[in-house]
Amino acid sequence: MSSDETPNVPAPRNSREAVREKAQKVHAQQSRARLMRRIIIGAVAIIAVGAIGTAVTLAVTSQTSKPQLSPSGMEADGVVVTDIASAAIAGTASATPEPEPTEAGATETPAPEPTAAGAVDVHVYVDYLSPDAGKFERANARLLAQWIEDGAATVSYHPVALLTASSNGTKYSLRSAAAAACVATHSPDQFYAFNHDLLDDQPDVGSDGMSDEELANLAGAVGVDDAKTVRSCIEDGDYVNWAKEATTRALKGPLPGSDDLVLTAAPMIVVNGEAYVGALDDPQELSTFVMSVASEAYYESTSPTPTPTATSAPAE
């Protein structure tokens, strides 16, 4: 090889231009890749937001499109029990449940009698999770049933939900009140038995309470007429909104037959517009109160109204 031959290498300037061109190509590729990533991320975000919006819209639409159902056969949000014979308590030999023994139970409990003023009007507000509501029912169920059979009183049970937050989030008070409305609507003759069983064997406050399926099973056990319809009503929560609204109405008042009473607790017993404040487990005391109220109504209805008489003009 001759000494004047030079190696076959690119000139420094050409080398720098090649590197710069390659760097520009890489940068352009990276820019396009970043742009594509942004486009893809934006598209995914738009799709996700759209999906969430659609889900929310469907949820709201399903809630608003569901009709607000109201139970039938009720008066002032209460179920009037007028015939115990057709509402026998399931699992007992007699048509009326046995109360718990009390000191007052040792003596015969007096009963009010129908008067010219009519039967005594008794309203019982019950929360099916309330221990006191259960205590009242077990102690006084036979007494109330006897008054109904004798025509001495009309008894209305009002399911309310005051302890909705006391069942581990299952809203048992609300669901059981709605279940009672289902039975009252679709099988009214069995309401009394269902109502009694809910109060006689209650879950503990702070527990989950019965599931909707168990409530429907209980309705079937008391012999509802159309078990399939009642089950669907209970498990679909047809009257949950009604139970909530009925409770609100009772809390605002006035309660039926009263001027200014409002719901303050469950149970709350109102007789001819007057609240009973005696012992919940003393049938004797309850009977005495009811007889006193009935007597007042009787005397008010029979008190003669003074008749104006003509007066003679004074002689001149």
* pTM, to two decimals: 0.70
Residue 316 lies in a domain: no
Do 49 and 85 belong to one domain? no
Q: Does 179 lie in the same domain as 107?
A: yes
The predicted pLDDT at position 65 comes to: 46
> Are residues 100 and 42 part of one domain?
no
The first and second tokens of residue 101, run together, are 């023994």
Q: Number of folded domains in the chain? A: 2
| Amino acid at residue number 84 | I
Residues 40 and 128 both lie in one domain: no
In a domain, 66, yes or no: no
Q: Is there a single domain that holds both residue 158 and residue 52?
A: no
pLDDT reported for residue 36: 78
Q: Are residues 228 and 94 in the same domain?
A: yes
Same domain, 102 and 242: yes
Which residues span the domain enclosing 47? 28-56
Judge if 43 and 142 occupy the same domain.
no
User: Is residue 111 in a domain?
Assistant: yes
Torsional sign, CA 128, 198, 283, 184:
positive
Residues 136 and 265 in one domain: yes
Tell whether 166 is covered by a domain.
Answer: yes
Residues 45 and 84 in one domain: no
Between CA 106 and CA 284 the distance in angstroms is: 10
Distance CA 212, CA 130 (A): 18
- Is 88 inside a domain boundary? yes
Does a structural domain hold residue 7?
Answer: no
Query: What pLDDT sits at residue 79?
Result: 96
Answer yes or no: do 174 and 262 share one domain: yes
Q: Measure Cα distances from 220 to 10, 103, 107, 191 in Å.
A: 97, 36, 37, 12
Q: Which DSSP string do the residues of 45-109 spell out, in sequence order?
A: HHHHHHHHHHHHHHHHHHHHHS-----SS-BTTBEEE--STTSPPTT-SSSSPPPPP-SGGGSPP
Cβ distance 127 to 133 under 8 Å? yes
Each of the 316 residues of the chain gets a pLDDT tens digit; together they read 455 555 555 555 667 777 677 767 777 777 777 777 788 887 766 776 566 655 544 444 444 445 678 899 899 999 999 767 544 443 333 334 444 444 444 445 555 554 445 789 999 999 999 999 999 999 999 999 999 999 999 999 999 999 999 999 999 999 999 999 999 999 999 999 999 999 999 999 999 999 999 999 999 999 999 999 999 999 999 999 999 999 999 999 999 989 999 999 999 999 999 999 999 999 999 999 999 999 886 666 655 555 555 555 555 4
169/89 same-domain check: yes
Residue (of 203, 205, 226, 215) closest to 175 by Cα position: 215
d(CA 309, CA 307): 6
Position 35 scores a pLDDT of: 78
Q: Quick check: is 21 in a domain?
A: no
Helix-helix angle 212-221:227-235, to 10 degrees? 160
